[in-house]
Amino acid sequence: MAHETTRPSTPAALRRRWDEQRVDQVRDQLEQQAKVARGPHRVVSPWGAADDVPVDLRGLPGGKDGLAVHYVTLGSLDLSHMKGRLHVYQSELAGCTLDGAALSVGSILGRRLERCTFVAARMPKVRLAGTFVDCDFTGASLRGATLGENATFERCSFDEADLSDARLVGGRFVDCTFGATVVSPLTSFERCELRGSGLPVGELRVEGCTVDGERVADRWDGRVSAEEIEDQFLAAYVEAAAAGRAGAVPLEPESPLPTDRGDSGGR
C-alpha cells in the first residue's frame, strides 16, 4: 500500500488521488470479505497499513457501478466526501464517517448502522432500510428519502437536515432530534412511531402517527402548496412531452430548493 507524504483535505483533492486501480482494490476487498461468513471484516486503505484506524477511503468515487457493501460487518471506515452510488445491504457498519458525501440517487443504506455520521452529506432519494443507532444526519440533504420496512432510528440527529419531499412510512424514531429540520409540503410522516421527540414543524403531511404512545391529529398544512407543485409539474411535463423533451422532466413532483432553514421542530 502506498503512503501519502501529504494528507489531502479538500473534497476535490481527495477525489483526484483515486484512480480506477485503487477503486477496484477496494471493491475486490469488499467482495472477498463478503465470502467470509463471520465478521468483523476488514478493508485496508490503498494509502494505509492493515492496522490503520480509521480506514482512509475519503473521496472515493463510486463511478457508474457505485460501491457495494454487502454481507459484511465493518467499522471505522472514513468515506468522507465519497461521490457516487452507495449500496449497503445486509451489512453492519459502526463508527463510519460519510460527512460531506455526495451519494447518487438510488443509494441504499440497510440492516444496521451505529455511530455513523452523515454531516452535510447530499443523499437525494436515499432509501434508509434498517436500524440506525446514534447516527448523525445534521445538515444532510435527504430530499426525497424513503424508508424500508420497519426502519428504526434510535438517538439520531436530524437537526438542520433537509427532509423536503421525503416520504417516511412506518418508521420508528426513538429519542431523535429534529431541530430546524427543513420540510416541504410534499414531506410526509405516515404511520410513524415517535418516542422522546416530537414531529418536525412545517407544512409536512402527518397521517396515522403516534408520539410517546399517543395518536396525534392528522394534518397537512401544506396541502394547497402541494397541489400547486403537482399542477406545475403536470404542466411542465405536458409542455416537455409536446416538445419531445419528456425525458428531461423529473419522474415525480419536486419542491423548490429551500432558501432558508425554516422552523425548529422536535426536541
CA angle 153, 159, 164 (to 5 degrees): 85
Q: In this predicted structure, what is the pLDDT of residue 80?
A: 98
Q: How far is 84 from 61, CA to CA, in rounded Å?
A: 6
Mean pLDDT of 238-256: 86
Residue the block writes with cell 409536446: 242
Question: Between 3.40.190.150, 3.60.15.10, 3.40.190.10, 2.160.20.80, what CATH number should domain 11-266 receive?
Answer: 2.160.20.80
DSSP assignment letter at 266: E
Q: What is the pTM of this model?
A: 0.90
Residue whose cell numbers read 503512503: 3
In this predicted model, what pLDDT tens digit does every residue of 9-64 receive, in sequence order?
Answer: 799 999 999 999 999 999 999 999 999 989 999 999 999 888 889 999 999 999 88
Q: For residue 63, list its beta bridge partners.
A: 84
Pairing mode, if any, of strands 219-220 and 205-207? Answer: antiparallel
Task: Read off the pLDDT of residues 59-97 as tens digits, 9 standing for 90 and up.
Answer: 999 988 899 999 999 999 999 999 999 999 999 999 999
